[in-house]
């Protein structure tokens, strides 16, 4: 969870939503880590509007990455907290996808974005 909201020319009201006991409602997709959004809710999340909800099933404690169901090394958390730009974090669970190196990253992104990839033991 960000400490302070980011400025946006579109989003005026962003609400963080945590579902304590997410329920799988569709046969494919979802996880305890990120919740079980319906395909409709997932598709709607890509349509940027003035008022939006951000679901965060992985944050179960006061500090993301600690006792959350997906713990992050203290060294990695320290680096993420001290990134001077934007943090982009991706994760793969259950050996579902192949890890790929980011491509076509602009010079501005290289200077202002910190990229992280997290994988589970199975992957």
Domain count, the chain: 2
| Residues 84 and 57 placed together within one structural domain of the fold | no
Could you list the residue range(s) of the whole structural domain that residue 43 is in?
8-62
- Quickly count: other Cβ atoms within 10 Å of residue 12's Cβ: 11
Q: Is residue 1 in a domain?
A: no
| Residues 52 and 82 placed together within one structural domain of the fold | no
What is the average pLDDT value for the chain, to the nearest integer? 77
Q: Is residue 54 in a domain?
A: yes
Q: For 39-73, how does the pLDDT look when each residue is reduced to its tens digit (9 = 90+)?
A: 888 788 888 888 988 776 555 556 666 666 667 88
On the question of pLDDT at 2 being above 60, the answer is no
| Residues 54 and 82 placed together within one structural domain of the fold | no
DSSP 7: P
| Residue of 69 and 85 predicted with greater confidence | 85
* Residue where a domain terminates, one of 62, 86, 107: 62
> 3-state class of 15 per DSSP?
strand
Percentage of the residues of the chain whose pLDDT score is greater than 70: 73
Q: What pTM was estimated for this model as a whole? A: 0.50
Residue 107: the pLDDT is 92
């Amino acid at each position: 969870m960000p400490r302070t909201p980011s400025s946006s020319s579109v989003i005026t009201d962003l609400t963080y939503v945590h579902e304590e006991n997410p329920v799988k409602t569709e046969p494919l997709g979802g996880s305890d880590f990120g919740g079980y959004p319906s395909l409709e809710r997932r598709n709607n999340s890509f349509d940027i509007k003035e008022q939006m909800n951000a679901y965060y099933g992985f944050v179960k404690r006061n500090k993301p990455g600690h006792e959350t169901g997906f713990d992050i090394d203290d060294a990695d958390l320290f680096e993420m907290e001290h990134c001077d730009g934007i943090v982009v974090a991706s994760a793969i669970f259950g050996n579902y996808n192949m890890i790929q190196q980011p491509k076509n990253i602009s010079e501005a992104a290289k200077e202002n974005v910190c990229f992280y990839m997290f994988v589970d033991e199975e992957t």
